[in-house]
Chains A and B, each alone.
Chain A
Amino acid sequence: MNHLVIFIRFSVFILILFALLILLYIVSRRVYQQVKDKRFRRRYLQIEEELLNALSATEPESAALLAEKYAKYPKVLTKLLFDYAKVLIGPERDRLKIIFRIALEKKSTRDLSSRRTMRRLQATRLFGFFFDPLKMDFMLKLLNDKPIVRLAAVQAISQLPSAEALSIVFRAFEADSCPNVHSYTSVIFSLGGRAEGYIRETLKNPISLEKIALLIELVGAIPIRSLCQDILPFAGHAEKEIRIKVARALGGLLIPDSVPVLIRMASDEAWEVQAQAIKSLGKLKSPEALDILAGSFYSKNWHVRFNARAGLMNLGEAGVKRLEEIAQQTRDGYAAAMAAMALHDIYLSSESMSS
């Protein structure tokens, strides 16, 4: 027992010492951080003031002078360039590029081969804003890096206006075995109409269902109306998830020609597809859809009924008339109550608008 007591007492001493050391570390880190933050902020404001002058100056050399003057503060400059590159385009962005080339390019190039992922990531992001399209080779190497760096590289490449760059982005997307849906969505969504040809080609290739679904969803979200014919064949896809995406995308494209397809999809075997098709028909506000929308009020599925209600509410006077008919019928009390609710909502919103 005595040995145990001695051992425990020794442990207590070590634990107290350790706790004190942690506390000391926290306090000293706090002091250090506060001093560092204050200094960083002061320098940031100082450089920012000169940067604003350089951006508005008539002679472009002022940017070069600023870069040379503050090259010894790479962290502050990096932060400043990040903050301004997000909001500036055109000639102002070119001046930031000059600062980057003079003050940060060498360091960032070194960082691209750093062992630390975060350094590589930061450098990749920075190059994303400022790299020279002619020197794309080093960016391509990053496509084999860890997913987080790879995505930053894809994002950087996607900023370039060249066809080659876009082809690289889509090749990377096709090759990615475990795509980060959010990141690829951001990248492809930001391409807008430029992605048209690539989405068309990629949809023809043998890619995973997840990727097909993402591309179809983006066609509707961007939206790229010229791709309507390319996604219509997927309306009969065996996989329910794909059909849902097609129905949703058609609601985003708002092409009247797609109404017959959506009407067909409104009778799909899966209620999720029906619900989405009904929702898209409601968005299209097509009089052709009146019957199917009114009919869907009696669907077995609540989601389908709910979307039909929203659809009829969108259809103006004709929709209200149908809602009144449904509210007055007695064979389906639930549908009647739902229609009454829709009419009440229309009344409430018109009352609110008039007041």
Chain B
Amino acid sequence: MIQVLIHLFNIFSYLVLVYFLLLNGFYIFFIVLSLFGISHYRHRTEYIRIEEIFLSPLAKPISIIAPAHNEENSIIENVRNLLSLEYPQYEVIVVNDGSTDSTLEKLIEAFDLKKTQWVFRKVVDSKPVRGIYVCPRNPKLIVVDKVNGKKSDAMNAGLNISHYPLFCAIDSDCLLDRDSLLKVVRPFLEDPERTVGVGGIVRLINGCETKSGQITRIRLPRNFLARFQTLEYFRAFLGGRIGMSLIKGLLIISGAFGVFRKDVVLKCGGYRPASIGEDLDLVVRLRKYLHEQKIPYAIHFLPDAICWTEVPETFQALGRQRNRWHRGLIEAFLHNRRMIFNPRYGLTGLFAMPFYLIFELFGPLIELLGYAFFIPCLFLRLVNYPFAFTFFLLSIALGTLLSIAALLLEEFSLRRFSRISDVLLMALFCILENFFYRQYLALVRGKAFLDYLNGKSEWGAMDKKGFAKEIPSP
């Protein structure tokens, strides 16, 4: 019996080792790819004059759709930010998704909104709209008040109201850089026929100072959890997404900031109301539709179109957020399972989806399985201590190397943290995140499988502080 267990343990150890090496091998590959990608992108855009895009007669108008649910702390700053963007023609549609706080009242008061008899066409499904408000002094702003649904439902309501051929999906707890829209729209101007979606980079607003909806000073977050997430966002956006975009396998355009062609999205049926991870689900369905229709297309990621977002600063809120993201991943993959390993969908079916399935979706399960297997083996004295210790060191060294490489990507792309002490502090967090933080994330992501099976579909509140508290206006 013991012999069988030892044999099983050895087989499992080797399998985990292979999985671990493959996973980290891919991550390193993406980071190297991103290094070249960022360098090439920076050179290519160095002499592009953003004001030319502003003046271009071909710059298509954009509808910015910002769903808001209980955002009373940040909504006014956010809308001010959206109304002050540099772009020739756009509208801002704030969808109040059945907030139970004073989000709507604050909007009405701050922007002097008037209820209107708006007539719209219902192209995609959404929960009933209770009222539409306009701002007579600033016709760019439209506020839609609707019965609570999910974010995807609110996006659909916004799509029904929107007028323009491009739409920008944005979270209402985010701020955009003034020129972000001009930057993100460039691929639509250069290649209007093929470009269907473009995503921008999401960065952390925690710790930064804001005034009148604009970032005035970029600083590292003071909160430890937010610092860990800073590293994570660097790895995910500068490493993963640029790499995936370069091999034409990008599956996510963040729901926090992405611009899409409305006609194509509507042909796909808009956002799927039941989806939890609506951003991933939309891009996967777009790819599916365009592959099936044999329509040439391009989906881009731009590292310099910046959106600033507030991230959770408590373990509970972080756990809820990551649990939801993972449930969204599970749900999107189950819904689009036919695409996985299907050559009909090209690289999306043969590489991008299997990669996400094996390393992102099942990653936390395999990690937890490893811990679960290790503990009984410890009691049964089946553990080869030198090997286990060495493997543990290897995982920390690789994790640290990947995070430091992500810092290098940040150095090459935007270099927004100006102080050297910030870089050194982040390097320290590159090591620290390997202890407890990663294991915690694996646990909440692993729990997402159970929650999904139990039919949990709630969004999960985040306890946001709001931007207004970051710096008091003089």
Contacts and interface: CB of A to CB of B under 8 A. Distances in A.
A214 to B, nearest CB: 8
A148 B411 CA distance: 25
Interface stretch (A63-71, A166-174, A343-351): A343-351
A352 B424 CA distance: 54
Contacts of A345: 116, 134
Interface string B393-404: 110011011001
A210 B397 contact: no
Contacts of A29: 411
Nearest to B44: A148
Interface string A180-201: 1111011001000000000000
A4 to B, nearest CB: 7
Contacts of A183: 190
A265 B416 CA distance: 52
B203 interface: no
Given A1-B384, A182-B190, A344-B117, A351 B136 contact: yes
Contact of B390 (A12, A180, A210, A221): A12
B299 to A, nearest CB: 18
Contacts of B393: 8-9, 12
A194 B311 CA distance: 53
A210 B384 CA distance: 67
Secondary structure at the B interface, as helix, strand, loop or mixed, is helix
Interface stretch (B45-53, B250-258, B269-277, B323-331): B45-53
B463 to A, nearest CB: 34
B420 interface: yes
Secondary structure at the A interface, as helix, strand, loop or mixed, is helix
A337 B134 CA distance: 17
A186 B397 contact: no
Interface residues of A, number: 53
B142 to A, nearest CB: 11
A336 to B, nearest CB: 9
A322 to B, nearest CB: 17
Interface string A328-355: 0000001001101100110011011000
Contacts of B400: 15-16, 19
Contacts of A16: 397, 400-401
A122 interface: yes
B224 interface: no
Contact of A19 (B123, B387, B397): B397
Contacts of B384: 1
A117 B39 CA distance: 13
Nearest to B42: A118
B189 A348 contact: no
B118 interface: yes
A33 B163 CA distance: 46
A83 B364 CA distance: 52
22 contacts: A18-B401, A19-B401, A22-B408, A26-B411, A31-B420, A182-B53, A182-B56, A182-B189, A185-B56, A186-B52, A186-B55, A189-B57, A217-B58, A218-B57, A221-B57, A302-B121, A306-B163, A344-B117, A345-B116, A348-B134, A351-B136, A352-B136
